[in-house]
A = this chain, B = another copy of it.
């Protein structure tokens, strides 16, 4: 069992019960809506956390880099979708990977298809942009999409489906429901125009967590929901209780005149992802009290307001400030769990187990 008093450095605690709960809820949603659950593993980046998905019946996954695909392929997933377009210099690595697992990749232009020309057995998904503005063909540009479908069908590669990341829900957090419906409508329209009945992968955490309609979608590929974080709680994707990771950081100084503590926990632990709270405070995390089995509710007016490389400054309420001592570990829920998990590279569970990722 975890003994807080034995922690000797900043540590990313993971509550595996919450992780199991988050996975089970999304798996149940997929079951209810007849979606295939092919979660994105970019958030946790860990074979050990991946095993909790396997327990929930997951055997096909989504990843965001070739290195991540290679890492998880070693744990024998039946299908790995690499949601990133290939480049020519990756051909040998992709080919090797395709011998281990059913491999698919995103493409959005002829150049991506050409990058696969010396490979075989790699199927492709066409990346579509539902007005997010990052990657993919404009989902409303049916002619351009149809032209690329034709190109794929004339190539040696299987046209396996469409991939839609509805990142618009991150751009307008108050409008998740509407933005989700907009994306679904665009997908349904595309299906009609192209007379297409095959797979459509879809997966932003805000939309997938809250929506009750998934018309037009065949596979759910969200990722962040495994841990959630303060940003998702603020977006309404989850409740505060669903957040499954928490930084544990020692207090290194108390500043009475400013009612602040300095923690050993900086940009290399949290990342510099910032959140503007409803009270207009810009912050990098919020304090919880730690105990050996978990953590408390969020403490009001207790935010991580400043980060340098290894240090963080927390502005506290009077009562929390009074209860803190130099040398104690405080908990801080992260703004963006994907980046915190990547920065930390490993987790500690409340069983006291060290959980590794591909990064450490």
Contacts and interface: CB of A to CB of B under 8 A. Distances in A.
Interface of A: 5-10, 42, 64-67, 84-85, 87-90, 93, 108-109, 111-112, 115, 134-135, 167, 250, 252-253, 262, 264, 267-268, 271-274, 308-311, 313, 325-327, 338-339, 342-343, 345, 359-360
Given A42-B309, A42-B310, A273-B272, A8 B66 contact: yes
A88 B328 CA distance: 9
Contacts of A5: 89
B87 A327 contact: yes
Nearest to A43: B309
A42 B308 CA distance: 12
Contacts of A67: 9
Name, among A10, A309, A325, the residue most crowded by chain B CB atoms within 10 Å (CB to CB). A309
Contacts of A167: 308
A339 B90 CA distance: 27
Contact of A88 (B111, B274, B313, B327): B327
Contacts of A339: 267-268, 272, 309
A310 B65 contact: yes
Name, among A42, A65, A88, the residue most crowded by chain B CB atoms within 10 Å (CB to CB). A65
Contacts of A89: 5-8
Nearest to A109: B326
A260 to B, nearest CB: 9
A327 B359 contact: no
Indicate how many identical chains form the complex: 2
A271 B307 CA distance: 13
B8 A268 contact: no
A10 B65 CA distance: 9
Contact of A111 (B9, B271, B326): B326
Contacts of A109: 253, 326
Nearest to A170: B308
A248 to B, nearest CB: 11
A135 B311 contact: yes
B342 A268 contact: yes
A252 B309 contact: no
Nearest to A45: B268
Contacts of A274: 272
Contacts of A342: 268, 309, 343
A314 to B, nearest CB: 12
A62 to B, nearest CB: 12
Contact of A264 (B65, B115, B343, B359): B65
Given A67-B9, A89-B8, A273-B267, A326 B112 contact: yes
Nearest to A110: B326
A262 B137 CA distance: 13
A310 B69 CA distance: 14
A6 B64 CA distance: 20
B9 A65 contact: yes
